Copies of this chain bind each other. A is one copy, B any other.
């Protein structure tokens, strides 16, 4: 009657049934006759009733919420500055579109992660998706009996939906090799980052397979780092004719550096990146890169949580595919 939101009690009263029966209908639970089911459905429609999710969560002891936990390990590559997290978010949102589950975001700096475990693990939710988590955080959250899926390999017991970073890096070098490039340098990511490590090992495997020279330096996954790394490489090895760059952001910096030395991309130095995010279409020339299916991975991880099919140690691996644009070409 009042202006406040109708409750299940109102629905029951209008339908002439008990609260329990109304609840059965609302939750599609068995034990209600078709007749009452129709009456309740009608009452819900008439009143414009929507269940109070908070009360549901309290009474049932489980929340219809998925957590996306983003661990920021480098302030320069935080949320606002890095396209990775928005792709993850997009993927999670896709999986959540059709189900009545809410999305909660928790962003935590790597150094604060340990101290904030309590807060992060506070509520009993459907589960948590870990973007870029450390093994420590991942295992601790898992031990708090939380359903957890990581998007990068952490500890062996933590379920993971990962990309074939090593295979992708190998394929990148193979592509450059197939174009006739023979002096293929690499700009790697941070030494401790698991994705970075896998990409480096894929590069090395390819270098060995094709009997090329291993020329590499680190770029820290930032544009500035990629820029500086490319200048170093060109200075020390002026005859480089291709670069494998472990992420698009660094590749953007590398292209700028290469053209600044008077060389042409792709003719003099071909560049191949890794990620295929928004940056890849914005470089000049547009970047040939290895596409990380980040959205698809995040969607898959979320679905695992929703269907409850996460088991300790579960691994799912997505392939990384070549996307050809204009930063690579055959040697003239």
Binding site for B on A (CB under 8 A): 48, 50, 52-55, 57-58, 63, 78-83, 85-87, 89-91, 93, 100, 102-107, 118-119, 122-123, 223, 248-249, 252-253, 255-256, 259, 278-279, 281-286, 294-295
Contact = CB atoms under 8 A, between A and B. Distances in A.
Contacts of A285: 256
A105 B89 contact: yes
B93 A82 contact: no
Contacts of A78: 90
The main secondary structure of chain A at its interface with chain B is helix
Contacts of A93: 79, 105, 107
A90 B70 CA distance: 11
A223 B89 CA distance: 21
Given A282-B283, A284-B283, A91 B102 contact: no
Nearest to A248: B282
A24 to B, nearest CB: 21
A247 to B, nearest CB: 11
A274 to B, nearest CB: 14
Nearest to A61: B54
Given A83-B278, A278-B278, 12 more contacts: A50-B119, A53-B123, A54-B58, A79-B86, A80-B294, A89-B89, A252-B282, A259-B284, A278-B279, A279-B282, A282-B283, A283-B284
Contacts of A294: 80
A123 to B, nearest CB: 6
| Complex copy number for this chain | 2
Contacts of A123: 52-54
A71 to B, nearest CB: 13
A81 B86 CA distance: 8
Contacts of A119: 50, 100
A169 B23 CA distance: 56
A82 B58 CA distance: 37
Contacts of A50: 118-119, 122
A329 to B, nearest CB: 15
Given A80-B295, A83-B86, A87-B80, A53 B282 contact: no
B83 A79 contact: no
Contacts of A282: 223, 248-249, 252-253, 279, 282-283
Nearest to A81: B278
Contacts of A253: 282
Contacts of A118: 48, 50
20 contacts: A52-B123, A78-B90, A79-B87, A80-B90, A81-B278, A82-B86, A82-B278, A85-B86, A86-B86, A89-B105, A93-B105, A93-B107, A100-B119, A102-B106, A103-B104, A252-B281, A252-B283, A259-B284, A282-B282, A283-B284
